Structure formats: structure tokens, C-alpha cells
């Protein structure tokens, strides 16, 4: 016969069953905390080992770079055609310099990637530690806090991804441009050293060629610096800064670049203005490098509470789906898309082969601001 529910024996049995259920939940909750703490400790340990490996590689890069700079300052042995030993020595030294330069360039690229990965690991450790603290602190009011913390963590992740995309884009630009040009300039100097005593006229011609090469690449480096430097938004405002980018584009290419700036930029936040300017600069760079356009239009307007930017050209266009499939290798488009996502804007690129391209950005600002 079962215990009656309201007898002393029945009450004790019910209390024991409830305590058993509570004990089970407590055990599971404690197990969850222990698992999260264990994972956080393991990840922290791996991150520390990763940081040590990064420091070791960075130290090796410094040593190799110092060795390369020392060899670059030392003139190469003169290869006397009548002395095989001297020729062999000059060839060996030349090969050593090239091997050092190749290794330094490889490590430079690797260190950039490792630095990005280390940032991700450190952010993941902080996220796991915050999650453990949330479970450890028995305060129901923290539920709202953790939702906000999740949004903050997601936002931090997006920032890291955007930084990674921008670093990758600039690394590719520098590798294909100034780094390659400087490598060519070093070989050019080595060649001039060899012919200087044999044919002064040829050496003079090569020096003039080298001067023009360095002058051209100096202009490219100044362009990179202008991309990294804070924009002139405080001095010129958004419209003035866009006009500055347009004038630079027109001066570089000689192509027609028109502006139709009908949306005031003062309704945007400083972060939004910076994103707009960077997207304009990147879109114009893409037009200059890839579009082959004769006419480009940069326009702004407001519609239905949105602040809208369009950069359109009549160039050769491209297959958007095919390019999107290449993912992160597509530095320019990824850079613009990440900028748009970080400010909560919509972003789209419309293009087709032979039909030009339109870069479209829409920022929600509200009817009153518009």
C-alpha cells in the first residue's frame, strides 16, 4: 500500500524524491561548470604554448633580418672571369643573399598569420572564462548580462575577422607592389656594382632606371599610408573626404569620375562615416585596377530612412558568383563587406561581364535623421 500523500510518511517520501531530483540537477550543473573550466584551462595552456612559439619565430625573424641587412651593406665579391675561385665565391654569396631574403619574406608572411591566430585564441580564452564566471555566479539577473556579453563577444569576433581581412588585403598589396619592387631594386643595385668599373655609360643608364622605379614605388607607398592614416573627416567632413578620394582617382587614371552627393553626412556617426569613406576608397581602387572604366559615378542619397551610397562604373564588369566563391582571397570585396557588417549596414555588389559594376551600401539612420 502506497503512503498517503498527506501523511508524515508520505511527506517524507516526497521530500526525499525532490531532494534526489535536486541533487541530480546540482550534479549536472557542477559537471557543466567543471567541463567548462577544464576546457578554459586547456585552451589557456595551448594559447600560452602558441605565444611562446610565436616569440621564438619572431626572434628568428629578427636575427635573419639583421643578418640580411648586414649582407646587403657588404659589397659582393667581384667576379673576375680569370679567377674561378673568385667567381665561385661571388656566386655563393649571391645565392646566400637570395636565400636569406626569401626566408625573411616567408617568415614575415607567416608571422602575420600567426599573430591573427593568436588574437583569435586569446579572444576565445576570454570568452570561455566569462562563460565559466557566468555559471559560477548564482545570480539570475545575469541572464540579461550574458545575452549582452554574447553580443559583445560576437562583435569582437567580427572586429577580429575584419582586421584579419584588412591585414590580408594590405599584405597582398604590399607583397605584389612595394616588396616586389624593392626586391627588384636590390638586384638592380647588385648589377650596377658589377658593371660600374666596366662600362660607366651602362651603369649610368641603369641608375636612371632605378631612380624612376623607386620614385614610382614611393608614390605607391604613399597611397598605402593614406589608406592607413586616419581620414580627414574632421577637417573636410564626409562629402569633402569623398571628393578628395574622387580627385585622387581622377588624377591617377585620367578617367571621368562624377559625384552626386545629395545625402548629408552629418547624420551618420563617426564610425559610420569612416566606414563609408573606406568603402568609397576601396571601390575606387577596384575601378582603377580592374574595371577599365571610362566613367565612374559616386552618389549618395536618402530613401525610406536609409542613407545610401552607390559607386558605379561602365567598366568590363565581372561574374559576382564566381568571385564570391573564391572567399577570403577576394580581399577588396571582403574588406568592404566586413566594414558594412560592423556598422549594421546592408551591402551589395551588382555586376555582369561587360555591363559595369555597382557597389551599393545602405545604412539605416531613421526617417528624422534622413
Residue whose cell numbers read 559595369: 356
Given the DSSP bridges, would you call strands 256-261 and 295-303 parallel, antiparallel or unpaired? parallel
> What is the rounded CA–CA span in Å between residue 171 and residue 329?
12
Question: Whole-angstrom Cα distance, residue 349 to residue 337?
Answer: 9
| DSSP string covering 289-339 | III--SEEEEEEEEETTEEEEEEEE-S----HHHHHTTGGG-HHHHHHHHH
Domains of the chain: 8-224 (no CATH), 235-364 (3.30.565.10)
193 versus 172: which is more confidently predicted?
193
92 has a pLDDT exceeding 90:
no
pLDDT at residue 154 above 60? Answer: no
Comparing 270 with 334, the larger pLDDT belongs to 270
- What Cα–Cα distance (Å) separates residue 257 from each residue in 209, 273, 286? 32, 21, 14
Q: Of 349, 331, 249, 262, nearest to 296 (Cα)?
A: 249
Place of cell 577596384: 286
Q: Whole-number mean pLDDT of the chain?
A: 75
What is the C-alpha to C-alpha distance for residues 165 and 278, in angstroms, rounded to an integer?
14
The Cα 15–Cα 179 span in angstroms is 76
pLDDT at residue 118, rounded to an integer: 80
What's the predicted TM-score (pTM) here? Answer: 0.43
Closest CA to 334 of 281, 290, 279, 268: 279
User: Which of 138-142, 159-163, 173-177, 357-361 ranks highest by mean pLDDT?
Assistant: 357-361
Q: Are 340 and 346 within 8 A, CB to CB?
A: yes
Closest-CA residue to 347 (of 270, 259, 272, 261) = 272
What is the average pLDDT across 125-152? 60
CA distance 268 to 279: 15
Find the helix or strand (DSSP H, E) in which 261 lies: strand 256-261
Of the pLDDT bands very low, low, confident and very high (cuts 50, 70, 90), residue 328 is very low
Amino acid at each position: 500500500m502506497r503512503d498517503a500523500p498527506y501523511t508524515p510518511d508520505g511527506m517524507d517520501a516526497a521530500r526525499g524524491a525532490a531532494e534526489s531530483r535536486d541533487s541530480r540537477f546540482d550534479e549536472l550543473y557542477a559537471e557543466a561548470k567543471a567541463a567548462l573550466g577544464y576546457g578554459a584551462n586547456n585552451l589557456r595552456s595551448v594559447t600560452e604554448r602558441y605565444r611562446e612559439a610565436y616569440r621564438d619565430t619572431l626572434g628568428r625573424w629578427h636575427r635573419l633580418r639583421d643578418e640580411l641587412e648586414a649582407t646587403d651593406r657588404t659589397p659582393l665579391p667581384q667576379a673576375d672571369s680569370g679567377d674561378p675561385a673568385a667567381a665561385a665565391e661571388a656566386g655563393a654569396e649571391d645565392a646566400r643573399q637570395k636565400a636569406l631574403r626569401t626566408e625573411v619574406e616567408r617568415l614575415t608572411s607567416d608571422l602575420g598569420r600567426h599573430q591573427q591566430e593568436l588574437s583569435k585564441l586569446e579572444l576565445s580564452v576570454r570568452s570561455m572564462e566569462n562563460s565559466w564566471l557566468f555559471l559560477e555566479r548564482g545570480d539570475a539577473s545575469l541572464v540579461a548580462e550574458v545575452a549582452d556579453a554574447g553580443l559583445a563577444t560576437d562583435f569582437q569576433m567580427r572586429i577580429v575577422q575584419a582586421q584579419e581581412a584588412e591585414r590580408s588585403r594590405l599584405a597582398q598589396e604590399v607583397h605584389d607592389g612595394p616588396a616586389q619592387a624593392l626586391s627588384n631594386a636590390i638586384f638592380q643595385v647588385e648589377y650596377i656594382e658589377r658593371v660600374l668599373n666596366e662600362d660607366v655609360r651602362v651603369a649610368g643608364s641603369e641608375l636612371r632606371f632605378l631612380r624612376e622605379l623607386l620614385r614610382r614605388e614611393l608614390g605607391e607607398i604613399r597611397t598605402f599610408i593614406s589608406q592607413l592614416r586616419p581620414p580627414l573627416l574632421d577637417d573636410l567632413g564626409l562629402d569633402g573626404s569623398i571628393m578628395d578620394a574622387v580627385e585622387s582617382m581622377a588624377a591617377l587614371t585620367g578617367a571621368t569620375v562624377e559625384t552626386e552627393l545629395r545625402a548629408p553626412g552629418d547624420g551618420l556617426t563617426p564610425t559610420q562615416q569612416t566606414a563609408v569613406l573606406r568603402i568609397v576608397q576601396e571601390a575606387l581602387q577596384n575601378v582603377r585596377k580592374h574595371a577599365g572604366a571610362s566613367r565612374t559615378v559616386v552618389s549618395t542619397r536618402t530613401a525610406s530612412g536609409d542613407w545610401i551610397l552607390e559607386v558605379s562604373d561602365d567598366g568590363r564588369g565581372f561574374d559576382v558568383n564566381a568571385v564570391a566563391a573564391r572567399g577570403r582571397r577576394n580581399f577588396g570585396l571582403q574588406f568592404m563587406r566586413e566594414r558594412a557588417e560592423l556598422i549594421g549596414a546592408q551591402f551589395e555588389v551588382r555586376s555582369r561581364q561587360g555591363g559595369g559594376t555597382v557597389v551599393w551600401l545602405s545604412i539605416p539612420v531613421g526617417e528624422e535623421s534622413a
